[in-house]
Structure 1
Amino acid sequence: MKRNYKVLLLALMLAFASCSFTKKTFDDPDRDKLLMQLIVYVLEEGHYSPKDLNDDFSEQVYASYLDQLDPFKRYFYASDIKEFEAYKDQIDDQLKSYDLSFFNLTHERLLQRIEESQILYKDVLAKPFDYNVDEDINTDYKKLAYVNSKKEMRDRWRTQLKFSTIANYDDLISQQENTISSKNKVKNMTDDEYQMLDSEMRELPKSDKTKDSKDPKEMKSLSELEAEARKTTLSSLNELYDYINERNREDWFAVYLNAIVAEFDPHTFYYAPEDKERFDVAMSGKFEGIGARLQKKMDVVTIMEIISGGPAWKQNKMEAGDQILKVQQDNGEPAVSIVGMRLEDAVKLIKGPKGTSVILTLKKVDGTIEDLKIARDIVELEEVYAKSSTVIKDNKKFGVINLPGFYVSMDDYNKRNAATDVKLEIERLKKENIEGLVLDLRNNGGGSLQTVIDMAGLFIKEGPIVQVKTTGGQKEVLRDKDKAITWDGPLVILVNENSASASEILAAAMQDYKRALVIGSKQTFGKGTVQTVLDLNRMVKNNSLGDMGALKYTIQKYYRIDGGSTQLEGVKSDVVVPDRYSYIALGEKNQENPLPYDRIDAANYTVWNNNSGFQTAIDNSYARIAKNEQLKLIDENAKWVKKIRDQDMYSLKYDTYKTALKLNEDEAKQFEKLADYKTNLTFSSLPYENELMVADSTLKEKRVRWHKALSQDVYVEEALNVLNDLRGPTDIKKVVNNVKK
């Protein structure tokens, strides 16, 4: 029955995503107009809360779009804006008639202003900044007016670049000041002592040396340091403009389309073809290719990281730092140089279907050139998947599962997904005879709705998990129908402000059933909506215009089984623990255009019957928190972080800047011991991972780092304290073999 339910749900989703929009024919020969036509139609017909395309809508899109194009107000002039304003209340009409006039005007003007700015910033950075002048900068750029002249534009660039460079300048001064004590020591050294110091400096790895460390007797003047600071800023801007100049019209049109669709709600988004591919990888945690992370710098594609377990890792002939000069397919076609090519285009050449091969011409780290043939395969991103550990506390063994996301294969649900992985980790942990489980959903932004329904079913006998409501107000209760339970022992769920969507569904369901205690931030993110992803190519017959990308849009709101919503309100923790973001405006309620909060009738469900120890565990937890010096310091740090983030006025006079910076640094010192916090807990990998780590040193290093982080995590420590307080099941072993199939 459970499998039939999944098939039915998937069929309904596919029908909604493809069949319901086939009544209309889309065949505009202009790709951009066709895209606009498709997106407007889908949102008007399929969005949960469609918007009226009117003048108010137009003005909102206008403001959002220009803010995205020029957030620092250092491209467009006031005269440009005056010209654009003719379209301020016309965008809705242009959408209805598929008119691209506004986009074409802004796009052409933006490219012109970007080209002008490249000359401008290089000219500004060619001249020294005077850090003795008493002037300030306001970094609340939304309050800035657009400039009226080239002189004002130059001054805006000068001010902003001076602000960027003063930080570099201070870093260089600080580095040099740190050598002063060494220099003073050098003055009193004998020749033999100096030669020994010089020899030690030469033996340091190249990466550990700085230009100033070659000879502790040499010191640079302030003017030399100022010039070096500008050079650093110039290098950073050159890299930024390399990226900007790689963007084509399709990329900029996607920005315009997203300014439009974002007015419907924060989670409606147009994915250009390359963005859709990245979304699929993020959702599934896997792709087909060679297993290397790449970056482009100075026109050259360089390997940043070899992904553990991938083809390149298994072959062990490629390393981080190698440069890829050419790419050749295994079909006999000539090699293609990728030097100067857009990174996205280079990646397309390197990636490919499992079973095919690619030949890469590499410039190795040592300077040698060689051709390397690699067979492509499925690459899994280990950091995306669930992982588990055991820990001993008060002679009891507990389990910890970290779940970064509710991942699922976009083309086949029965392939690897978060629910089946968590189930497997629980089964492995039970073999280690754990007496309680922590499920860590911190920073888990959600994912597949189906996986969270299946995952919630691992902890209850049967019953509703979440309620969803469509545009017409029709309610549906999504249930776990399998009576088997994978884990019936004590359960604690860790959350924070970035636990969203599917994370909130799971936390809310377990809270409503009184199946688990939720520990963490005051509330979770507050995303109570469901999205689907529509491949826009399905809507165009005989498409000859290339890949149209995909549209993610909101189709439902979801509700707790008690009738409440997590929209805006999130899930309130049973035990609120201070964190460093407690005073910062995060979450759905601080997004643009969120859907409103509301309630519906509760579903019928039966509360878990083994929760008698909950209130005692909560009371004990709050008593510990009140005495915990680490958490008190975290709360003070959170207030300090809020104060720093709210600051928007900075002096560009170095002495004043340095005084303020020194004050901040002095204040920050009281929080340095936060990083020194250690528990007396030791975390261990499970036997199957220990076997894997014999051959995989990368996995071993990642687990060592994770276990160290867990041992310094005051939130995990408190979660384990709560587990220790909770009353266990009547008989843990009775469900060991009663596992969902």
Structure 2
Amino acid sequence: MTIAQTLMNRYARRPVGKTTGFCSAVALALLMPGLSGVQANIEIPTEYEPVMPTVEQARANILIARQLQFTHFRDLSVSDELSDDVFESYLDYLDGQRIYLTQKDIDALSDIRNVLGPALRTGQLRPAFQVYNLVQQRVIERLKFALDLVNNGIGQLDFSTDEQIRVDRSETPWEANQAALDELWTKRIKNAVLSQRLNGADNEAIEDNLRRRYEGQLKRAYQARSEDAFQAYMNAFTSMWDPHTSYFSPRTSENFNINMSLSLEGIGAVLQSDNEYTKVVRLVPGGPAAKQGQLQPADRIVSVAQEDEKPVNVIGWRLDEVVDLIRGPRDSKVTLEVIPASATDETLTRTIVIKRDEVKLEEQSASKDIIELERGGEDYTIGVITIPTFYADFQAMQAGDPNYKSTTRDVRKLINELKDASVDGIVMDLRNNGGGALHEANDLVGLFIDQGPTVQIRNANNEVQVLTDQDPSVAYDGPLVVLVNRMSASASEIFAGAIQDYGRGLVVGSQTFGKGTVQAVRPLNHGQLKITQSKFYRVSGGSTQHKGVIPDIKIPSRLDKTRIGEDALDHALPWDQIDAVPHTRYFDFSGIIDQLRENHEKRFATNPEFQLLQKEIEFLEKQRAIDYVTLNSDERKKRHSEIEQTRLTIANTRRELQGEDPFETLDQLEDWRDQQAADPDSTDEELDFVIREGGHIMADLLKMDQNMASILGSSQFAVQTSAQ
């Protein structure tokens, strides 16, 4: 018997669950060549150096498994039944578009598919590393094939056939063999060539671009690290509990908030990995990208270029490396090539230049405007307060500065200024507000109610904590409208939900994001685990998770709900309900809401800006519905021309509404957008029509009941209710 076999037998007899058992499981995991004799029939050529698991990773695996089972909000065990789901999630991460592996490869991995549950309990990482090494080898093979094709000259490619290529392959069957993958990759390269030709590039430039792209990806594949495999596998594992639970590698843990690392210095964007791409999750209010205006949520980054340097293709890069590349000295410029969220295929890109800067607290601060409306011979003055995020200057607060900035403090001042201006009502604009400090959401609700509960928080043990506003004073007791959209999340949803439950105001816009969970970051022996431990519930008992806040009056949005929002994420925690807590109901809108909606719909039926929005939404939905794109050059040019003409028509219609001259060509439009983006502070845009519609809804409220302002603020009309 070998030393390894002796040690395996010794450790296998020891129980797992105590301190000695923990070490035994780690040792056993590292000594075993494969779980229960499972060994996929995979040959890894010597030119690729397979990555191997470490002792620290095995220990971290066991710690992660325990924390998920015993401290996560979702009650889920690391069972044998979990194996298949983890395997599929892992493959989605490594080859989500099914362009590297064949069905033959999947068949070779079939034994591993069934053992990942037991492996995850004991820290046995070799099966998962086998999968990773196979995928890396297949990536290398595909990239070499692509480079050979490009180096042989793209002039040999035939663009006169009726071939098509599928836009999204995530749900397609695996290709049967290498020959089928060769055909698929030839189509992928033809698609890339056609797109670049339509953007004006000649064959020489296209070949150079593609060569640099594939050589860069090939270099990354050869530089695969053990930590890459471990992080991918652990995140496939943790995602079974929910999409916000994730593993941070030691390098990521140096700044565990790596997804937010650009919010303080850089471009001001929250990024995350999305298969081979780095995807924009949201923009930081007041940040360079938000002010520049071209980068949008769900855009995917293809390449990054520094000033006066060639672009670096970042497809397949690790998130932290992309972040490092985008970061840079303040006032320097970075150029991003992105696939727009509205693009019909991955080769339709646009270039965005952003000047780096630090996001300043004052640029995220709440601000006010006043709009004047004339309705049926009556004039209305409506105050507008825009809140980009829920913020607080914690350092100044801890230092005892009596004038420290916070959302609630700033909004209170703005309310007083609007009251001095004798406004008839206030519109609170929380669109694109991704949340922030929870206590600020609680305090902000308190500005509009006497006192009472604002949100409930339930932990994994079903213990419920109720946050309350204990200040009986009210900063504003007049009529209120709250604007939200799909990017309103977390603290924004708490505020909007509370205002809705209290009958304190109307919520207008589109369904919010649905982020109703709370995460904590916990240290491991190797990296950190961000784990979901609690869930938000409204005072009426319904969760903000998954469903978000449904507006009383809906306004459609350009954003794609199938790609943005909690309900678009795999394994998101479901909506549920707990007991309501007693709270005041200030006004019952049920008797007038139908009339308010009817008035709103009549206005929008004749509103040219709304009609243009509808046209844009229809155009985007039509683009999103495209499953295939043609590889026929003539057909592609025709389709491209139709899309460009529609874009130009929409842009010119908006120009005409603003009293501006239309553009003659799309190039003129793009040049104008670049000029605007280069100096985002140079323009003073009017309040958009959604805010004005919020004002009109306010005017409807006042017209229906001239006494509403006093009714809302008068305690004698308040009804104490235990929300049903």
Name which of 97, 101, 108 aligns with 2:122.
Answer: 97
Alpha-carbon distance in 1 for matches of 2:209, 2:327: 34
1:564 and 2:542 aligned: yes
Amino acid at match of 1:562: S
**Residues 128-160 of structure 1: CA deviation (Å, up to 9, x unaligned):** 222123311122313444345444333222111
Alpha-carbon distance in 2 for matches of 1:137, 1:282: 33
1:526 and 2:514 aligned: yes
Alignment of 1:234-383 (within 5 A): 234-239=211-216, 248-276=225-253, 280=257, 321=307, 380-381=359-360
Amino acid at match of 2:694: A
Identity of aligned residues (%): 29
Alignment of 1:498-647 (within 5 A): 498-521=487-510, 523-528=511-516, 530-537=517-524, 540=525, 548-581=526-559, 584=562, 586-608=564-586, 615=593, 620-647=599-626
**Residues 322-353 of structure 1: CA deviation (Å, up to 9, x unaligned):** 88xxxxxxxxxxxxxxxxx999589989999x
Amino acid at match of 2:555: V
The answer to whether the 8 A contact 1:283-1:409 is kept is: no
TM-superposed deviation, 1:44? 0.8
TM-superposed deviation, 1:76? 2.5
Name which of 184, 192, 196 aligns with 1:168.
Answer: 196
Q: 1:61 to 1:603 in 2, by over 3 A?
A: same
Name which of 373, 387, 404 aligns with 1:403.
Answer: 387
TM-superposed deviation, 1:114? 3.0
- Which position in structure 1 is the counterpart of 2:183? 155
Amino acid at match of 2:508: I
Amino acid at match of 1:633: L
Name which of 145, 151, 159 aligns with 1:120.
Answer: 145
The answer to whether the 8 A contact 1:284-1:407 is kept is: no
What do you get for the CA RMSD once the two structures are aligned? 4.6
Alignment of 1:477-516 (within 5 A): 477-516=466-505
Name which of 426, 444, 465 aligns with 1:437.
Answer: 426
Alpha-carbon distance in 1 for matches of 2:558, 2:326: 41
Q: 1:419 to 1:675 in 2, by over 3 A?
A: farther
Alpha-carbon distance in 2 for matches of 1:666, 1:291: 31
- Which position in structure 1 is the counterpart of 2:61? 36
The answer to whether the 8 A contact 2:479-2:712 is kept is: no
Secondary structure in structure 2 of the residue aligned to 1:141: coil
Alignment of 1:213-228 (within 5 A): 225-228=202-205
Alpha-carbon distance in 1 for matches of 2:60, 2:568: 30
**Residues 539-565 of structure 1: CA deviation (Å, up to 9, x unaligned):** x5xxxxxxx333222222322211223
Name which of 695, 718, 721 aligns with 2:693.
Answer: 718
The answer to whether the 8 A contact 1:564-1:599 is kept is: yes
Alpha-carbon distance in 2 for matches of 1:619, 1:246: 61
Secondary structure in structure 2 of the residue aligned to 1:606: strand
TM-superposed deviation, 1:379? 5.4
- Which position in structure 1 is the counterpart of 2:71? 46
- Which position in structure 2 is the counterpart of 1:468? 457
TM-superposed deviation, 1:479? 1.1
The answer to whether the 8 A contact 1:285-1:381 is kept is: no
The answer to whether the 8 A contact 2:545-2:573 is kept is: yes
Alignment of 1:54-73 (within 5 A): 54-73=79-98
Alpha-carbon distance in 2 for matches of 1:609, 1:672: 42
Amino acid at match of 1:138: R
TM-superposed deviation, 1:239? 5.0
Q: 1:98 to 1:342 in 2, by over 3 A?
A: closer
Q: 1:600 to 1:101 in 2, by over 3 A?
A: same
Q: 1:63 to 1:273 in 2, by over 3 A?
A: same
**Residues 7-37 of structure 1: CA deviation (Å, up to 9, x unaligned):** xxxxxxxxxxxxxxx9979776822112212
The answer to whether the 8 A contact 2:140-2:221 is kept is: no
Amino acid at match of 1:118: L
Name which of 653, 673, 680 aligns with 2:632.
Answer: 653
Higher deviation after alignment, 718-727 or 478-487 = 718-727
Alpha-carbon distance in 1 for matches of 2:508, 2:650: 23
Alpha-carbon distance in 2 for matches of 1:140, 1:631: 31
The answer to whether the 8 A contact 2:143-2:217 is kept is: no
TM-superposed deviation, 1:442? 2.0
1:449 and 2:438 aligned: yes
The answer to whether the 8 A contact 2:65-2:78 is kept is: no
TM-superposed deviation, 1:166? 0.9
Gap runs ≥5 in structure 1: 1-21, 174-224, 296-306, 310-318, 324-340, 353-357, 364-377, 541-547, 681-697, 735-741
Alpha-carbon distance in 2 for matches of 1:610, 1:626: 27
Alpha-carbon distance in 1 for matches of 2:179, 2:639: 30
Secondary structure in structure 2 of the residue aligned to 1:469: strand
The answer to whether the 8 A contact 2:434-2:489 is kept is: yes
- Which position in structure 2 is the counterpart of 1:184? none
TM-superposed deviation, 1:480? 1.2
Secondary structure in structure 2 of the residue aligned to 1:568: coil
Secondary structure in structure 2 of the residue aligned to 1:579: coil
- Which position in structure 2 is the counterpart of 1:229? 206
**Residues 504-524 of structure 1: CA deviation (Å, up to 9, x unaligned):** 111110111122221111x22
Alpha-carbon distance in 2 for matches of 1:639, 1:342: 35
Q: 1:235 to 1:291 in 2, by over 3 A?
A: closer
- Which position in structure 1 is the counterpart of 2:163? 135
Amino acid at match of 2:150: L
Q: 1:276 to 1:717 in 2, by over 3 A?
A: farther
**Residues 106-125 of structure 1: CA deviation (Å, up to 9, x unaligned):** 22223323333332221122
TM-superposed deviation, 1:576? 0.8
Alpha-carbon distance in 1 for matches of 2:444, 2:701: 22
The answer to whether the 8 A contact 1:567-1:588 is kept is: yes
Secondary structure in structure 2 of the residue aligned to 1:142: coil
Alpha-carbon distance in 1 for matches of 2:146, 2:542: 53
Name which of 406, 409, 412 aligns with 1:423.
Answer: 409
Secondary structure in structure 2 of the residue aligned to 1:671: helix
The answer to whether the 8 A contact 1:419-1:451 is kept is: no
TM-superposed deviation, 1:670? 4.8
Alpha-carbon distance in 2 for matches of 1:671, 1:290: 32
**Residues 455-511 of structure 1: CA deviation (Å, up to 9, x unaligned):** 222322211111222233333322111223334344322111232222211111011
Q: 1:83 to 1:280 in 2, by over 3 A?
A: same
Q: 1:721 to 1:266 in 2, by over 3 A?
A: same
TM-score, structure 2 as length reference? 0.68
The answer to whether the 8 A contact 1:284-1:409 is kept is: no
Q: 1:437 to 1:272 in 2, by over 3 A?
A: farther
Secondary structure in structure 1 of the residue aligned to 2:428: strand
